[in-house]
Amino acid sequence: MSLVATQAFVLRSYKLGENDKIAILFTRDFGKVRFVAKGARKVRSRFGAAFEVLTHLRILFHYKENRDLLILDKAEILFSPFEHQTSLRIAYYIFYFSELINEFYPDHEKSQDAFTMLLNIKQALQKHQNLDFLARYIELQLLHSQGILSSVAFCSQCNRPFESLLEKRYLGLQTEIICRRCKTPESVVLSAQIVKSIDSFEKGSAQWAGTLTERTIDELGSLNYLLITRFLGKELQSTKLRKFLV
């Protein structure tokens, strides 16, 4: 057992009995970890508002191997996303991003990519950057890094490379991109703009943001959401907030 200091972002928290809370944190050094925060539900808790989603924390805890729940000793707030921004749109994105990372990463698996993503989200909130852009970027990054969305370079069924960006691609029953010869009546055609945007993302092109018009942002958002729910096999909780957005 050793005392550990690291940084973390809050992905979720919920009540535990009368006085305590369970907080699911994405830590820099240990990946996703579940903590018990003793006394966190008391009015004058030493944890204060530390467990609002996406709060950036400096934490102190005793590390024990093979434990599902660890005791959190200390949590100091480095950044609180709800401090200045209270619009429903921003609140939605805060819940959406934290839910995505919570769903996509298993417990106790360190991921520098995921922690960097969380730091980028924090920066975007601080600098009032465009969260729609950021959402599309994070969705594509998650879908690609986990090998969920197949490449737009070739048909994932017959492995034939597509002739050009103009050749039609279809989305199969799950998350696979297929060609006109392999499509079924249930397949959905992808628009040329979407194909161009995903291709640019796959190539790591600096021009990627330039492929996103307002319409493409919405279209790509719907496609990504479909892929995410097909992969997870369920709707996201944060979707309930989404319908209040105009």
- Footprint of Zn ion (CB under 5 A): 155, 157-158, 179, 182
Residue 12 buriedness (CB in 10 A; 0-12 / 13-18 / 19+):
middle
Nearer to Zn ion, 8 or 179 (CB): 179
* Strand pairing class (69-79; 31-37): parallel
Cα 218 to Cα 55, 177, 233, distances in angstroms: 27, 19, 22
SS (H, E, C) 140-199: HHHHHHCCCCCCCCECCCCCCECCCCCCCCEECCCCCEECCCCCCCCCEECCHHHHHHHH
Nearer to Zn ion, 94 or 155 (CB): 155
Give least dist CB 161 to Zn ion, A.
10
Nearer to Zn ion, 153 or 182 (CB): 182
Nearer to Zn ion, 149 or 155 (CB): 155
Strand partners, 189: 170
Cα 150 to Cα 123, 145, 222, distances in angstroms: 30, 11, 17
Give least dist CB 154 to Zn ion, A.
8
Q: For residue 2, which amino acid is it?
A: S
Give least dist CB 85 to Zn ion, A.
46
CB within 8 Å of 45: residues ≥ 6 apart? 37, 39
User: 3-state DSSP call for residue 25?
Assistant: strand
Give least dist CB 205 to Zn ion, A.
25
Give least dist CB 170 to Zn ion, A.
9
Residue 101: CB atoms within 10 Å: 23
Give least dist CB 40 to Zn ion, A.
53
Nearer to Zn ion, 161 or 210 (CB): 161
Nearer to Zn ion, 162 or 201 (CB): 162
